[in-house]
Structure 1
C-alpha cells in the first residue's frame, strides 16, 4: 500500500487507483472513437452521407472543447473523487441518449453533450494520478491513465464496432454507457479522498486564462494532434475503398492501430519522465515523417496495417507528455489547464476529421489525410518551439 504525501489522505493502492481511472479512460476512448468505426453504418441508417456523419465526430469534440473549461472552473471547489463519479454518471446518461436518438439532429446534439465531461475527467484523473505517484513518476502515471483510452482502440472500439455491425450501431453506444457505470463503482472503491488545495477557487482557475505559456502549450496539442484524427476518422472507408478489403477487416485494422497507440503511449511516458521537452519535440518530428511514409503504404492490406500501427505509435504519446508539461507552466490553474488539454486534443479531433473529410471530398485521393497529418504535425512543432522561446525569454 502507498500513502499520499498529505497525512489527511487515506491509504490507497496506486495500482488500484490507476486501474480504476483507466477504466474510465477506456469507456471514454471507446465512445470517442466508436463513431469513427461505425461511420458507414450510422450514415446508412440515418440516410446521410459520410461527410455529414463526420459531423457527429466533430460535435463530440466540440462538446469537449466547451465542457472542459466550464466544468474545471465552476467545479473548482468540488472534491476530485466526487467530481469524477459525477462526470461518469453524466457520461453514461449522455451515451444512452445517443443510443436512443431517432434522428440525425438528435444524434448530433447528444454527441455534443456527451463530450462535456470528457476533458474534465481526463484532466482531473491526470492530476490525481500525478499527485499520488510523485514528481519523478508523474508522466508514467499519466501515460498509464491514458492507457485506458489507447486500450479502448485495441479492444473497446473493435468490440463496439463489431457489436454495432451485428446488432445495429446503437449497441456500440449502449456498450460505452455500461463501461461508464462500471467506472462509477471502481472510482468509489479505489480512489482516496484527496484534500483540495487551499487556494483552489474559481478565481485562481480563471487567472490561468492570462497565462500565455499555458495557451501556447494547448495550441501544440490542438494542432499537432490533428493528423492522427485526419486518418483515423476515415480509416474505415480508406480501407474498403482504397485498400479494397472487406468491411469485416475494419475492426482488426482498428485493433492494430490501437496496439501502436498502447506501445507509443507507454514509450512516450517513460521518455517524458526523463527528458520532457525533448520527448515532445521528438514526437512531432517523428509523426511528420511517419505520415509521409505511410501515405505510400495503403494500397496493400499488410502494409496498410503496418501504416496504421506506425501512425498510432508515433502520435499518441503527445497527449501525456503535454499533460505533464502543462503542470509545469499552469501555475495555480492546474485543473483548468489539465482539462483544457483535452479540449485542445478534441479541437484536434474536430479539425482533423474536418480536414481529412475535406481533402477526400475535393478528390485529392484516399491517402490525402496522411498529408494533412504532415502539415499539422509540423505546425504543432513550430508552435512548441515558439513556446519554448517565450518561456526562455520570461525566465
Structure 2
C-alpha cells in the first residue's frame, strides 16, 4: 500500500509522459485551425469560390468552437474523461478525413464545422486531466505544457502544412493533420490513465456553476484580451509589408519568431501562475497593453518592429495558462465546462478582434491597429484589477 502510494507520488513529481499525448492532440487541433490561412488561395481556386468565401471557412470554424463546444461538453459530461478524449479525437480524424475527399465547398464547410466541435471540448477536458496528472502547485504549468501544442502548431505545423498544401495540393495538408490526430489517439490510449469519475453534477448544476458573476467576468476579460491580440495579429502581414517595409517572403520568418515568443511566454506564464495566480494575470495584461502601445512607435523600423512582435507574442500567450486555471478554480463543480467556456469566450474574442481590426483599417488606418489593440487589453486589465481589489476587500472583511 505504502509503495503504491510512493509510486503515485513519484509519478506526480515530474511532468508525466502522459501530458505529451495531450500536447500532440493540441498540436493537431492548432494545425487544423490555422493552416487554412496559408492554403486559402489553393482551396478557393480548386473549389471555384472567391477568397472571401474561402475565408468563411475560418470564421465558421471559430464560431463552431464558440457555440458548439459548451453544448457538446454539457451533453457529454457523463462520459468518463479518457473515453471522451478518444471520442473527440475520433471525430477530429473523421472531420479531417472528410476534408481530404470533400468534393465541394459545402462538404468542406461541414467537415470544418465537425472538427470545430471537437476543438473547445478537447481543450476543456484536456486542461482538467492535465491539472490532475500533477501536484496541485504545478497545475498551471501542466496546462501550459498541453497548450504548448497549440503554440508549437503555429511555429512548425502551419508553415509545414502550408508547404505540404502548396507542393502536394491543399487536400494533403488535411491528410497530414489526420495522421497527427491518429498519433495523438494512440498516445491517449497508451499513456492517459483512466480518470476516476467525479460525482456527476446534473446539467442544471453544471450551468449554474457557469453563470456565477465572477466567472462570467473572467470569461469577458479573456475575450477582451484575445480581441486585443487578434485586432492586430489578423492584419500583421499587411502591417509588416505596408508600414514596416518588409518583403512578403520575410513575413513567414517573422511569424516563426512570433511563435517562438508565444511558446516561451506560454511556459513562463504557467510558472508565474503557479507562483501567484491573479497578480500574474494582471501583471501580464498590463505588460501586453504597454508593449502594444510601444508598437505604435516601433512598427516603423524593421528591427524594433520584430523585437516588439516577439515580446508581444510572449506576453499575449503568457496569460493563457493562468486564465485557464483561474476559470477552473471559479467553477469547482464543473471545471471541464468552465475550461471549455474559456475557449469559447477566447474564440469569440478572436472573431470580434478580427472584425474590429477590419473596421479600424476601413475607418481609421492600418497604423491605428496597435493602439486599438492596447485599448482592448487595457479594458481586460482594468476589469481584472477591479475584481482583484474587490476580492482583497472581501477577504479583509471576512478576516
Give TM-score, length-normalised by structure 2: 0.88
Cα offset, 1:100, TM superposition? 4.1
Residue in 2 aligned with 1:210?
211
Query: Structure 2 matches for 1:170-319, cutoff 5 A?
Result: 170-319=171-320
Range with greater deviation from structure 2 (41-50 or 59-68): 41-50
Residue in 2 aligned with 1:136?
137
Residue in 1 aligned with 2:50?
48
The answer to whether the 8 Å contact 1:36/1:234 transfers is no
Gaps of at least 5 residues in structure 2 are none
CA distance in 1, matches of 2:108, 2:368: 28
CA distance in 1, matches of 2:393, 2:285: 23
Q: Check 1:314–1:23 CA distance in 2 against 1; reply closer, same or farther (3 A cut).
A: same
Q: Check 1:238–1:107 CA distance in 2 against 1; reply closer, same or farther (3 A cut).
A: farther
Residue in 1 aligned with 2:383?
383
Q: Compute the RMSD of aligned alpha carbons.
A: 2.8
Range with greater deviation from structure 2 (297-306 or 178-187): 297-306
Larger Rg: 2
CA distance in 2, matches of 1:180, 1:132: 22
CA distance in 2, matches of 1:275, 1:102: 52
Are positions 1:345 and 2:346 aligned together?
yes
Residue in 1 aligned with 2:126?
125
Query: Structure 2 matches for 1:53-68, cutoff 5 A?
Result: 53-68=54-69
CA distance in 2, matches of 1:338, 1:4: 31
CA distance in 2, matches of 1:100, 1:307: 42
Cα offset, 1:153, TM superposition? 1.3
CA distance in 1, matches of 2:145, 2:54: 32
Q: Secondary structure at the match of 2:136?
A: coil
Cα offset, 1:254, TM superposition? 2.0
Range with greater deviation from structure 2 (278-287 or 33-42): 33-42
Residue in 2 aligned with 1:79?
80
CA distance in 1, matches of 2:272, 2:253: 29
Deviations 1:18-68 (A, max 9, x none): 111000111111122223344455556655245x55433221111111122
Give TM-score, length-normalised by structure 1: 0.89
Gaps of at least 5 residues in structure 1 are none
Residue in 2 aligned with 1:330?
331
Deviations 1:222-251 (A, max 9, x none): 111222222332333434444454443333
Q: Check 1:388–1:110 CA distance in 2 against 1; reply closer, same or farther (3 A cut).
A: farther
The answer to whether the 8 Å contact 1:259/1:309 transfers is yes
Residue in 1 aligned with 2:96?
95
The answer to whether the 8 Å contact 2:97/2:174 transfers is yes
Q: Check 1:42–1:226 CA distance in 2 against 1; reply closer, same or farther (3 A cut).
A: farther
CA distance in 1, matches of 2:7, 2:300: 59
Q: Check 1:77–1:7 CA distance in 2 against 1; reply closer, same or farther (3 A cut).
A: farther
Cα offset, 1:336, TM superposition? 0.9
Higher helix residue share: 2
